[in-house]
Amino acid sequence: MFATLGADPDSEHAVDCMERASEMVRADNDLIGHFISQGKVDPKLIKMLEKLPPDHPYTLTPERVALHERASTHPDQEDLRNAQAKFKEMLERVGE
């Protein structure tokens, strides 16, 4: 299974997202692996977050803005190399 996500792929949020997606897919499929690549955060979502009140859990803090800025450069060449390696590994497992 492959996914892109604006969050860091190693974050708790990313792990939770992949677990939930895997549960849905496993109902009818055998999973041989997964890969998450960081992706850009949709500008429409950022606009929505800008309108949230300051006490909302998803308010755009300086830290969150920095995360979105880092995410804006993804997927990058390293992400593509990592995906290629992961998919090669999964294909090798199919033959086992």
pTM: 0.76
pLDDT in tens, 73-86: 999 999 999 999 99
What is the spatial distance between Cα 88 and Cα 46, in angstroms, rounded to a whole number?
35
Which residue blocks in the chain are alpha helix, DSSP H?
12-26, 43-50, 62-71, 77-94
pLDDT in tens, 3-49: 999 888 999 999 999 999 999 888 888 888 889 999 999 999 999 99
